[in-house]
Amino acid sequence: QLKACREFCAKEGLTVAAEFVEAESAGKAGRTQFESMCDFFGTNPEVRIVVAHKLDRLTRNFSDALRLESLGVKDRYVVSDFPEGPSGELARDVNLAVAKHYLANLRQEVKKGMAEKVAQGGWPHRAPVGYINDKATRSLVVDPISAPLVLHAFERYGSGLVSLSTLANELHAMGLRMRSGGKVYGSALDKVLKNPVYVGLIRWKGELYPGTHEPLVSRELFDTVQAAFAPNRTKNNAQKRSYALRDFLVCAECGAKITAGTHKEHTYYRCTHGKGPCSQRSYIREERLMDEVTALLGRIEIGPDILEALVEEARIREESETSQRTRERAALLSALADNERRSAALLDALLDGTIGKEVYAAKDRQLTSERRALELRLSEPSNSSESLPSKVRALASTGANARVDFEHADLEMKRRVLADVLCNATVQEGHIASYQWKGPLGFLERNPEGALIHEWWAILDLNQ
């Protein structure tokens, strides 16, 4: 990919100012090399183009995309480069949303696989102390070294004669260590003694499932230990309350989070003043902010003409990318066939005595490495079996239904709707001051008169 990026720059007449190779997933913000690249743009204002192999290699999250946009950086791609203008921006945002959707779907599939494993009695994580992971059976087996120490911990604490800190020191002297090699402190020991895995149960998403592994302690001993913890529990430890808009709003003046609380059966929001001096001191009734959010969501309206325009754009884009992938695959197959011919010729040269064994070995390693790289690229799966137009239709429908879903949903669903469509909302003087739509949803916004406000629609003249 690095070689392809260099060739692209040479073809486009671009001078390479710096190269950044990122190994972390493009689905998360805060990647080390991405941050270094942004710092480079900040100190080199004359450089305002970034070249990546594909969009999903540069970013799969809107936060990074907005970061580059705020720096005034133009993104270019070796594969599926986007044209200048609003149409190109729409295509890029649609593809970014699709890439983010693919990543979220992949995570969901992994979680489903882990849930299925738990339902069958398997352990989905790294083995807890007292057990080891059996790669052959993909299950937990008793660790003969640490398991006796874990059993000792349960027996000693269940006796009621030692504190957690004293027991931690005792276990350290007996040789029990964290996986890092450090001491097991009371806080970690607390989690061990409360973990039901040691009686053959697996806790997953708040539920308990029977495991297929061997228990280390009896149910009676485990219950005795839990009873020993009971006097130390705080009876008035109220559960943290959830609020519909908390976590989605920040102060427009200081950038601190907007928090929420309940007073006399009414919910109020306020700035936490967590980032220094701030003049925003008012408490805002939730009803006011909820009305403003509902009105914002109502500005995303999608009629059949708009929806079909988006789907048609996605269809054209998909056809173009499919054609390009076909050409790339043909080129890779041709390169692989050429590699095999060169390998055969190299072997003939060795057998004929034209070259020596050392030369043959060096050239063979080079050809083998090249062949593996080609085979790896040929084996790369496509992002999804679902077509791009189908994904665009689903994403657009999410925006179209957002207001109705938000108005009539319960608290958890309201938060889910906001997480899907809205970001970077700020509050000032008791009102929402600014906001951003996630991905291509911004192209769907209408003004109070009902006209689509993004400049892209002026080009298509769909407001008439």
Which residues are registered as beta bridge partners of 51?
76
Rounding to the nearest 10 degrees, give the CA dihedral for residues 202, 208, 214, 216: 90
* Per-residue pLDDT at 398: 72
- Predicted confidence at residue 101, as pLDDT, reads 57
Q: Which tokens hold the place of 134?
A: 């059996």
- Which amino acid makes up residue 23? A
What local confidence, expressed as pLDDT, does residue 430 receive? Answer: 92
In whole angstroms, what is the distance from residue 48 CA to residue 44 CA? 8
pLDDT at 23: 67
Compute mean pLDDT per 10 residues along the chain, 464 residues long, and list them: 84 87 64 84 88 75 72 81 66 62 55 59 78 78 89 85 80 82 82 90 79 88 84 43 86 91 90 88 93 89 72 81 84 91 90 89 87 75 62 73 84 83 89 85 77 64 45
Task: Give the DSSP H/E element, type plus range, for residue 314.
Answer: helix 304-351
2-118 belongs to CATH 3.40.50.1390:
yes
122-232: which CATH architecture? Alpha-Beta Complex (3.90)
pLDDT at position 151, please? 92
pLDDT of 267 reads 93
Residue 462: the pLDDT is 44
- Check: CB of residue 75 under 8 Å from CB of residue 58: yes
Cα(94)–Cα(391) distance, integer angstroms:
9
Beta strands in 168-297, from DSSP E residues, in sequence order: 201-204, 207-210, 249-251, 258-263, 266-271, 284-285
Element (H, E) at 407: helix 402-408
CB-CB contact of 251 with 425 (8 Å): no
Segments making up each domain of the chain, as ranges: 2-118, 122-232, 305-384
